[in-house]
Amino acid sequence: MKLTFSPASPFARKVRIAAIELGLIDQIELTTITVAPGQANAEYEKINPLKKLPVLILDSGDVILDSYVIAEYLDELAGGGRLIPASGPLKWKVKTEHSLLQGMLDSMLLCRYENAMRPESLRWKVWSDDHWNRVWSGMARFDSDAAMLSRPLDIAQIALTCVLGYADFRFADRPWRKAFPNLDAFHQKMLERSSVKISLPPPA
């Protein structure tokens, strides 16, 4: 299998961590792809019209997206119920948390595009403030959820790790550690995993 990948993509990082934790990383070739808003990539658009990372390309040629569906696919390949609970109330809790974290990552990328890629004269602070508020409110919610932060490893915890790593990478001036000490402790603990450490984004 091939995974389209960039070391800067928090979505690709999530899948990479999941694949390592599931013992599947040796079956996956990471293929580095460059995508950016406003820049065409005709070859990759044939694979994914959304021009987003990551997608998983199976040996059959079938393509799987998005990052959550890839994680589900890998989880099933590893026996099922490993990173996504197979049943019960925790199943819907983890999925819901993951959707919230996915939306937080989307908002972070929108902030990044607004403040780093859009021409300076066209930036709209109302927009980026709104999206950053969503990220911050989401962080506040997880900071106060001791049960979530201390469960056995699951896909929501991996996504939260990628949110925090991306905050460090692209928003180093936002003091999330000071505001959310429980998230700080969680992140420290997650960094003890080699899957998390090896996949840290490069220096910004």
Q: Which residues bind a second copy (CB under 8 A)?
A: 37-38, 45, 48-52, 62-66, 68-69, 72-73, 89, 92-93, 95-96, 99-100, 102-104, 106-107, 113, 118-119, 121-124, 126-127, 129-131, 134, 137-138, 140-141
Reference 58, options 26, 13, 27; nearest CA is 27
83 versus 196: smaller Cβ distance to a second copy: 83
Q: Which long-range contacts (CB under 8 A, 24 or more apart) does 35-41 make?
A: 35/6, 36/117, 37/113, 37/117, 38/117
Q: Is 10 within 8 Å of 166 (Cβ atoms)?
A: yes
Q: Which two tokens stand for residue 24?
A: 């599947």
Q: What is the closest distance, in whole angstroms, from the C-beta atom of residue 170 to a second copy in the complex? A: 18
Q: What is the DSSP letter of 87?
A: S
Residue 44's closest CA among 29, 65, 13, 27? 65
Comparison of 66 and 168: residue with beta carbon closer to a second copy? 66
What is the spatial distance between Cα 17 and Cα 197, in angstroms, rounded to a whole number? 9
Q: C-beta of 35: minimal distance to a second copy in Å?
A: 10
Is 25 or 70 the residue whose CB approaches a second copy more closely? Answer: 70
Q: Which is nearer to a second copy, 4 or 48 (CB)?
A: 48
Q: Nearer to a second copy by C-beta: 81 or 198?
A: 81
- Please, what sign has the CA dihedral across residues 159, 16, 172, 117? negative
CB 150 within 8 A of CB 79: no
User: CB of 154: closest distance to a second copy in angstroms?
Assistant: 15
Question: In the bound complex, what is the minimum distance in angstroms from residue 130's beta carbon to a second copy?
Answer: 5
3-state secondary structure of 3: strand
- Minimum CB separation of residue 187 from a second copy in Å reads 19
